[in-house]
Amino acid sequence: MKKPVFYAVIALLCACNNQTQEQKSTNDTDLQQITTEEDNSEIFRKNFAIVWKWNTKNRQLIEDNISEVSIEMTKLWEKNVIENAYFNQDIDVDKFEYFPNISCFLKTSSLEEAEKTLNNLILVEKGLAEYTIYPVGSKFLGRNTGAIIKRGSSKSYVAVWSTPKKVDPDKDRDLIIAQSDALLKLWNEGSVENVYFDIEGTQKANNVTDFVFFINVNSEDEAKEICNNLPFSREKKATYKLLHVGIFWLGEYKQ
């Protein structure tokens, strides 16, 4: 069952601004629900979405280093530092030769540690590529593989959301539930995957990434239609931007 995850998110949102013992107890109960879900050891690790683009026009430089780049990325994947990678060769901007643009998730303790890890990669050290980093919080839904296969092949877009206004845990409770149910329905259909929430971000209304998810559709217009029909979008509680990320490549490393 995936619903307890979303309802636990709601409970956490509602509990963040209230420190009474009674509500702390309720929060503990909901956290216990979360830990019954699969991948529970990952549920509160910090995640960062990384979007790469090539930073050189020197084709030979990339070709000379591509093997080492691949080895570095594979090692990070095997160490469970990166996951859910996508590659995109069908792009109109920031494209260089036949080299695909890559995006992935990085798991580490802080933004500073994430930047340190990325800056030590050959991609950055040799000026091959530059990255944009989005703090995205905790992963609550992965990939519904069966539903995705049933839908058939499609393109993937990442929707990066922010909440410019504070989410009120009491006033907006019904809206939060509606948003969660809508996302869960889309996930069950295979239309969205890899959903991440930054609970603290939505509470502080800090106008940075508060949640992201990937959309499996055939065009950007279809992706926009999904986003525009979500409760948070209709009620202007959140804004989003879309990035075309191509197709799914690597998931979680399983020994």
Give yes or no for a contact between 245 and 212, defined as CB atoms under 8 angstroms apart.
no
pLDDT score at 45: 61
Tens of each residue's pLDDT in the chain, 255 residues: 455 444 444 434 444 433 333 333 334 444 344 333 444 445 446 889 898 888 888 889 988 998 898 889 889 999 999 998 888 766 555 555 667 788 899 998 889 999 999 999 999 999 999 999 988 888 888 999 999 999 887 889 999 888 877 777 788 889 888 998 999 999 999 999 999 887 665 555 455 557 889 999 999 999 999 999 999 999 998 899 998 888 887 787 775
In a domain, 30, yes or no: no
H-helix or E-strand containing 252? none
Domain extent for 167:
39-44+137-248
Q: What's the structural domain count of the chain?
A: 2
Same domain for 142 and 122, yes or no, is no
Is residue 174 located within the same domain as residue 221?
yes
Alpha-carbon distance values, 220 to 13, 19, 100, 245 (Å): 31, 43, 19, 11
What's 184's domain CATH number? 3.30.70.1060
Query: Taking a C-beta distance cutoff of 8 angstroms, is the pair 225, 219 a contact?
Result: no
Inside any domain, residue 211: yes
Give the Å distances, CA to CA, from 80 to 66, 105, 143, 145, 255.
21, 10, 17, 20, 10
Q: How many CB atoms lie within 10 A of CB 200?
A: 14
Of 78, 113, 135, the position where a domain reaches its end is 135
Neighbours of 5 (CB within 10 A): 24
Q: Mark whether 171 and 96 lie in a shared domain.
A: no
CA dihedral 232, 236, 241, 242 (to 10 degrees): 50
Q: Which of 135, 166, 184 is the last residue of a domain?
A: 135
